Amino acid sequence: MMFDRLVALLPSEGLEDLELERPDEEAAQLLSAWSGLWHPAILASAEQIPIGLPAASPPSDLTRLLVVVPDCCLGLLPEDWLPQAQAANACVLRNLRNRKDAVAAALQCLGPTPAVDPNLVADFLALGYCHLQVELLTRKLRYSSNLDQEGLRTAALAAAREALAGNAEAARGHLQAAFDRLHEAREYYYPVDTQLFDLTLLAPGTSGEALRGELSGGLPRNILCSGETLEGLAAREPETLDALKQALNAGRAAIVGGEYDELPLPLLEPDAIAAQLARGLPAYERHLGRRPTIYGRRRFGLTPALPQILERFGFTAAFHCTLDDGRFPTGNQARVQWEGLDGTSIDSLGIVPLDASRDAGFLQLAEKLGDSMGIEQSGVVVLAHWPGRAACWYDDLRRIAAYGSVLGKFSTMAEYFNEVAMSGHYAQYKPDEYRSPYLKQDVAAGRPDPISRWVRYFRRRTQLDAWQSVHLLAQCVSDDQGPPTDGAQIETSEQARLAAAIEDCLADEGSHSALDDDLAKRLQRPLADFARRVTDANSSERGSLVVNPRSFARQECVEAHPLIDVPAMGFAWVASAPAASDQVSAADAPAARRGWFGLGRAKVAPPLAEGNVLQNEFCQIHFDPETGAIRSISDYDYRDPRLGQQIALRLGGTRGGEADYSIMAADALVCTSAGPTLGEMVARGRLLDRDGRHVAAFKQTTRLWRGSRLIELLIELDIDRQPGPNPWDSYYAVRFAWKDETAELRRSMNWASVPTELAQFESPQFVDLHRGKQRTTLLCGGLPYHRRFGRKLDTLLVVAGESARRFRLGIGIDVPQPMAAAIDFIAPPLVLPDQPRPPTPSGWLFHLDCRNVLATHWAPLRTSSETTAGESESAQGSSSGRRLAGVRIRLLETEGRSVRLGLRSFRAVA
């Protein structure tokens, strides 16, 4: 059957009002209806190119008509139109799910046709797709079509005739002319080139033959992979790795990546982020002979702390986008200068990719191009997919690009950043604009301990940091010093191995008791070495030596002594005290004070616990005897309550328009220590739902030391009712409440203090509450997930899949530096009992004179005579025989303000 007209029906009055955001199935039907009619046999039969008409006004002349009706148009057709079309013997194609079916059905109506080269047929179908996108793009840019329809028709029909005659080269020549007509129409209104980026994602199990096939073609590709994935490729697919290297060497591919493993970066400290890059970049060098200069990752993990770290690792640009759940900020411009927390900026591409495996994105291509062209010097579109998993429209784009740049030219991101002028637009995104999906992902995947795994991680990191710092202290007090030579670091293979093992625990949190034992044993060796060097072996006095490997002073409680101040990067020694119970009267307390000039009667410090109250010099804590909760925490200057606290199960759902929580019922509230050093109250009881049913038993121990601004909470739960599957809707939590609605909330992010107004956020170190001159700091101890409701905050303890039942949190009262207090709270005390008295009872080795600056890493630099990577384990734990050449320190400002920093050392610095 020969046709006079080729029509694709549209669910709109025209292309101007065609809704492009549609499900994949509808998008595939619309694209197939339009482009499937461009088969050369169908074009030659009708001697016309296809047109689109509204389904509400279908053709009235039905003779020799071929019309494709997508399912989304059926409800718009006049009721009697389909019977009329059937009676007129029109060829009406319905219920077509893809273009292959549409073409087959149309050819069946047409009857026998000459065989045509399938590759040439695919070029004709790509011409049809290109025609639709140019028409849509023209209308997106708010212009009327300037397309030379007659020139397009002439070239397309000439190409169709040559194709049917078997003249492939002649057909391609006419196809080139047809694509040129489309290019002229697009350039008339917007004469710029559009950049198309193929972003091929690699992961274990996704490489192989499909990737080799894609790399062998001439299309420029951007390969997004981590160092760990690359190592797996080298082990399992050496042939594919060779193909990747060949494509890179030929300039047909570029690598985007940088990290070894894609960890949740917003929860990590800067040193851990840097360690991931330091571990990942050598993997690229080993297997590809080059490293990526464009940073990118597939999993969510962007953070404002990244620009300064990337710049210091030699990255020239970043792909500011991730491809799984979570939210990240995007601006109007695709290319911006991404500015980090410290003002460092890095060139970045911040456009959300189209999923090349889905049909919906290809229907929206013109809209994406139009949005980009409206504000950029050139349009930019990124098409992301796994190897061999792209929709047929992606092949259309590839074929269109072979005929010209009417819809854009494919290139690598490296070429784009090198050739296109750098954007002058700076974008400093707020931390709250990044919203991670980590908790929901972990629970949905059934990963064990989605919360407590982080507590263990931060505890291990503090042990590793302490080991490195104490190792330095031991070397610094050695008399065996040497001149600096090559500046080799103590960053040995063993230290890097332990750091990598700690990071790997986040991806595979099984039983890692061997790692914990190893860290504990390694820390003891340099501690013993340091103690031997600073104490006097001839002294007959014995006591406890407290070592502080941090860059800020700490307070430690040793035996029955009051809190001991330990200098930063230093030590303090206290004589052993006779064993005695802490349960003594206030009259025995050492904190007796006299009046002015030492006159008047000595005032005995009050007990730390009286009735339902804990108190010291800085605050009072009032308990509710009915519930066991903290009714209020107040100071002596303002008296009004700062904070209240309780434990609860969020049951999920609402009751009376508010979230439904359990209530606390105390069975006992007991003072277990009233002083002189420690005040302690223990509450035991039950958590009940609103109908009085038992959901859990609890024990909360609240501790307050004399002279300390820290309140310690130790919580134990015995759970009967498990939380629901949605971790942000059903959980056990510590609930905090405050009075002032104007109080500012700040949280920790990558060891920086940032303001937050989010309802759900991550903050593993602290949450800081500012109210005038008051500063109340919740020390999270590694518990990262929090949910806010106005003047209430839930710190999540147990969600589905969580096995931990014991938890430790702190509350700081007007602590000067929250970040230092948070690290101090996580880091365990380093106390060596039964040590001889040092020549001086306390001392420091290094000192920073700005409290808002932390030293995050200390390492000695050694002389060239020492072994580096191959030294023995015993040599790792001792500084014996080593010659110190210098010290390497990494410093971090935590409050977001510039300072002048002074660093002092107990030795003259050469």
Q: Can you point out the beta strands (E) in 227-386?
A: 253-257, 294-295, 317-319, 335-339, 345-349, 354-355, 380-385
Place 582 in a pLDDT band, splitting at 50, 70 and 90: very low
Comparing 287-291, 451-455, 481-485, the range with the smallest average pLDDT is: 481-485
Identity of the highest mean pLDDT range in 13-17, 88-92, 356-360? 356-360
Residue 130's DSSP bridge partners are none
The b-or-e profile of 878-906 (16+ CB within 10 A means b, else e) is bbeebbbbbbeeeebbbeeeeeeeebeee
Share above pLDDT 90 across residues of the chain, in percent, rounded to a whole number: 70
- Once rounded to an integer, what is the mean pLDDT over residues 547-575? 91
- Once rounded to an integer, what is the mean pLDDT over residues 312-321? 96
- Once rounded to an integer, what is the mean pLDDT over residues 207-235? 91
Place 543 in a pLDDT band, splitting at 50, 70 and 90: very high
What was the pLDDT predicted at 872? Answer: 36
What was the pLDDT predicted at 4? Answer: 85
pTM for the model: 0.89
Angle at 848 between CA 844 and CA 850, to 5 degrees: 140
pLDDT in tens, 443-482: 999 999 999 999 999 999 999 999 999 989 998 887 554 4
Instruction: State residue 901 phi and psi, 5-degree precision.
Output: -110, 135
What was the pLDDT predicted at 422? Answer: 66
What was the pLDDT predicted at 482? Answer: 43
Comparing 204-213, 346-355, 710-719, the range with the smallest average pLDDT is: 204-213
What was the pLDDT predicted at 29? Answer: 95
- Once rounded to an integer, what is the mean pLDDT over residues 362-377? 81
pLDDT in tens, 795-826: 999 999 999 999 999 999 999 999 999 999 99
Place 659 in a pLDDT band, splitting at 50, 70 and 90: confident
Instruction: Determine whether 429 is exposed, middle or buried from the number of CB atoms within 10 Å of its CB (0-12, 13-18, 19+).
Output: buried
Place 870 in a pLDDT band, splitting at 50, 70 and 90: very low
What was the pLDDT predicted at 586? Answer: 41
Q: Can you point out the beta strands (E) in 455-523?
A: 488-489
What was the pLDDT predicted at 875? Answer: 36
Place 280 in a pLDDT band, splitting at 50, 70 and 90: very high
What was the pLDDT predicted at 655? Answer: 75
What was the pLDDT predicted at 480? Answer: 54
Distance of CA 198 to the CA centre of its chain: 23
Q: Whole-angstrom Cα distance, residue 563 to residue 583?
A: 17
Comparing 226-240, 263-277, 465-479, 697-711, the range with the smallest average pLDDT is: 465-479
What was the pLDDT predicted at 481? Answer: 47
Cis peptide before 676 (omega within 30 of 0): yes
pLDDT in tens, 396-449: 999 999 999 999 999 999 999 988 766 668 889 999 999 999 999 999 999 999
